[in-house]
Amino acid sequence: MNGILNAGGGKNWTFPKNDTAGSFKSNFSTYKEAYKAASDKGLTDEMVDFGSQGADKVNKFLIEKGFPDVQLDAKSVPPDGIAAATTFSIEDKWKNPGNPMPGGISLGGTSKSVPGFKMEHVEEGTKISEHANPIFKLETTNGTSVYVTRYDSTKMGTPSHLHEQALKFSKALQGGKKFETPNGIAIPMVDLRQSGDLAWLQGASSTSSNGTQITISQAKYGIAFQMNDNGFKAEGAAAATATRSISPVPHIIDGSFLAWVQDKKGNIFFSTGVTEEFMKKPNLEIKK
């Protein structure tokens, strides 16, 4: 999105009318702020090119960045189209490393167990009225933090929904009730990788300063998250192609019209109505 927006020179986006796009639109400013903060910290990289060959270059860039599962359909990109991708990567060690749990963690309500680790020293736990389960803060050596809380798998929803929930919980932490965790916490280890289409984003459009319209024709994403007793690593990629209306359609006066001549003070010197019979090329030479 960011690469497409910058390449096209647009400022404001119009999103499709669906629930997911609506959620994305309502939080668009927070996405842009987060992207800027990550970019300022050198956590992002970006590739923008044009046409089908540009899509091939973007796909190569994605592979080099570790996202071979996020690939654009180059055949669908017109010669004047735009292809872009943005990647994000952050990793850090825990301020207070944990210990692997030899027996793993038993999942609630099942007989299954998964690899886990125990954090003896947790910065804080917080209870908020907006969520039934406590939220735990895991500090890293470089000042970033990872927050974790039990969340019903049936309510996971889309990435936009999860981002919205994270925003909600993050704001609620300020007024939450802090509590100590003298016995530490046990957390499952994580090795997550997902990718797919962002079909709900197709049709989103923006208009550049010269009137050229940019419309998203395809969009894809990929995320990876790993976490163990030593630290975490989070990566993400988003790629999109867009068509451009190189010759913007002007507002057309397609019938009879009123015309008048007016000075800066509002004095109207002349007015007339023009009908079809008078719509013809004049033999006009301006002397002044």
Using 50, 70 and 90 to split pLDDT, how confident is the model at 181?
A: confident
Residue range 185-231, pLDDT digits in tens: 999 999 999 999 988 888 888 876 666 778 899 999 999 999 999 99
Both 123 and 230 in one domain: the answer is: no
Both 84 and 203 in one domain: the answer is yes
Task: Tell which of 186, 201, 216 closes a domain.
Answer: 186
Q: Are both 203 and 171 inside the same structural domain?
A: no
Indicate whether 256 belongs to any domain: no
Q: Domain containing 124: what range?
A: 99-186
Tell which of 145, 160, 186 closes a domain: 186
Cβ(94)–Cβ(119) under 8 Å? yes
Q: Do 78 and 107 have their domain in common?
A: no
Mean pLDDT in residue range 159-174: 87
- Give yes or no: residues 179 and 103 share one domain: yes
* Number of compact structural domains in the chain: 2
Looking at per-residue pLDDT, the higher value among 203 and 268 belongs to 203
Identify whether residues 6 and 86 lie together within a single domain: yes
At a CB cut-off of 8 Å and minimum separation 6, what does 263 contact? 269
Count of positions (residues) in the chain = 288
- DSSP per-residue string spanning 8-65: HTEEEEE--SSHHHHHHHHTHHHHHHHHHHHHHTT-EEEEEEEHHHHHHHHHHHHHHT
In a domain, 120, yes or no: yes
Lowest mean pLDDT among 119-128, 176-185, 264-273: 264-273
Is residue 36 in some structural domain? yes
Q: Are residues 103 and 88 in the same domain?
A: no
- Higher-pLDDT residue of 81 and 211 is 81
What angle do helix axes 28-40 and 19-26 make, rounded to 10 degrees?
60
Ranking 130-144, 169-183, 270-284 by mean pLDDT, the lowest is 270-284
Asked if the model's pLDDT at residue 177 lies above 80, the reply is yes
Lowest-pLDDT range of 73-87, 175-189, 245-259, 270-284: 245-259
The whole-chain average pLDDT of the chain stands at 84
Q: Give the pLDDT score at 224.
A: 92
Domain match, 112 and 64 both: no
> Does 275 map to a domain?
no
Mark whether 105 and 226 lie in a shared domain: no
Q: Which range, of 76-90, 122-136, 158-172, 248-262, averages the lowest pLDDT?
A: 248-262
Whether residue 138 is found in the same domain as residue 155: yes
Please indicate, yes or no, whether residues 114 and 6 belong to a single structural domain of this protein.
no
Q: Which of 168, 186, 204 is the last residue of a domain?
A: 186
Identify the pLDDT of residue 57: 93
**Of residues 279 and 65, more confidently modeled:** 65
The per-residue pLDDT for 5 is: 54
In a domain, 263, yes or no: no
Average pLDDT over residues 148-159: 86
Could you tell me which of 217, 211, 238, 220 has the C-alpha nearest to residue 51? Answer: 217
Question: Is residue 253 one of the residues assigned to a domain?
Answer: no
pLDDT in tens, 18-66: 777 777 777 777 777 888 888 888 888 988 888 778 899 999 999 999 9
Instruction: Give the pLDDT confidence score for residue 229 in this predicted structure.
Output: 92
Does one domain contain both 67 and 38?
yes
143 found inside a domain: yes
Whether residue 260 lies inside any domain: the answer is no
